[in-house]
């Protein structure tokens, strides 16, 4: 167990140093086609969670600049209003809207989803970006460990409940979940709320991000024939307020070597804009290309039974039929 964990950590670190940094992005970007993101999406409706800063903000700005109606889901009203004002000023778009929702609260998530569906508006793109790395064990009003509540329960619930709005834009509809390269260091586990052993927020975050990738696969299997595309991606190592707060030592050590938020968001925007026949259902993407979901010999592969069992547990915990 210890040796396997040590190997995964070492393999992830080496892989990250060579692939996830700013210099790696600049190298990979030499192969990018500019026309892939020079696409007008005027009139399309896009929801971006965790949109007031970092990769979520960069994603919302990029989509708004291409004509989309962007619904920015933020927990903090003041920060959300400031973010919307900045995006409107930068893009000249008035079609940027604020939705207040705390993804750690099932009540909030369900109220937001219900409100959006009641507008009878089609949803073209859902970007599950909101994420959290809390190092202390904190419990939400629903009795959930906080990282799990935001990264998994909130994301799972909002996606499941917004399916009727996504159905309206099939076969163009798509869901993009922002994972993390940290998931390479974690196997899938049924211990969703880290009840076994001493709590470690960094490990819990990695576990959550591994599960997000597995959920994108499962959603593609369950709902892909409805014309909804499901994809996961990771942004590499980017300098964002979230990283600065959650991993200050890492942020300081790699200062100047981390990607910008815009570089981290590049693949999210690319996935939102591409014709779906260029994308692969349930796939994991990085720097505009399919990426491996597991590192060699890392022991992180899982079975269909494992993810099926976890999905069943999530439906029960989140009170979804």
Residues labelled catalytic: 205
- 265-296 burial, b for 16+ CB within 10 Å, e for fewer? bbbbbbbbbbebeebebbbbbbbbeebebbbe
Tell me the C-alpha distance between 223 and 74, whole Å.
Answer: 27
CA 183, 186, 190, 195 torsion-angle sign: negative
Alpha-carbon Rg of the chain, whole angstroms? 18
Tell me the C-alpha distance between 122 and 92, whole Å.
Answer: 23
How many residues belong to the chain?
321
Cβ(140)–Cβ(149) below 8 Å? yes
User: What is the bridge-based pairing of β-strands 69-74 and 45-49?
Assistant: parallel
């Amino acid at each position: 167990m210890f040796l396997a964990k040590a190997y995964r950590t070492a393999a992830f670190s080496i892989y990250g140093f060579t692939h996830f940094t700013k210099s790696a992005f600049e190298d990979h970007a030499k192969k990018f086609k500019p026309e892939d993101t020079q696409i007008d999406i005027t009139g399309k409706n896009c929801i971006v969670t965790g949109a007031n800063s970092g990769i979520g903000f960069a994603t919302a700005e990029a989509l708004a600049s291409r004509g989309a109606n962007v619904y920015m889901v933020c927990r903090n009203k003041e920060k959300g209003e400031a973010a919307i004002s900045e995006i409107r000023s930068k893009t000249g778009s008035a079609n940027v809207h604020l939705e207040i929702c705390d993804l750690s609260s099932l009540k909030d998530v369900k109220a937001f989803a219900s409100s959006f569906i009641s507008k009878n508006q089609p949803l073209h793109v859902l970007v599950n970006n909101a994420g959290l790395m809390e190092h202390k064990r904190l419990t939400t009003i629903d009795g959930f460990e906080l990282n799990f509540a935001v990264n998994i329960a909130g994301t799972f619930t909002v996606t499941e409940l917004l399916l009727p709005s996504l159905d309206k834009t099939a076969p163009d509809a798509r869901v993009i979940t922002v994972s993390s390269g940290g998931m390479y260091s974690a196997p899938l586990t049924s211990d969703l709320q880290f009840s076994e052993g001493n709590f470690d927020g960094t490990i819990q975050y990695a576990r959550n991000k591994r599960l997000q990738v597995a959920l994108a696969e499962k959603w593609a299997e369950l709902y892909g024939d409805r014309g909804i595309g499901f994809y996961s991606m990771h942004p590499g190592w980017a300098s964002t307020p979230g990283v600065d707060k959650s991993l200050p030592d890492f942020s300081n050590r790699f200062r100047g070597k981390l990607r910008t938020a815009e570089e981290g968001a590049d693949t999210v925007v690319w996935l939102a804009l591409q014709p779906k026949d260029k994308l692969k259902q349930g796939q994991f993407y990085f720097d505009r290309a399919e990426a491996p979901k597991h590192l060699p010999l890392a022991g992180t592969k899982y079975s269909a039974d494992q993810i099926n069992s976890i999905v069943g547990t999530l439906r029960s915990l989140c009170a979804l039929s």
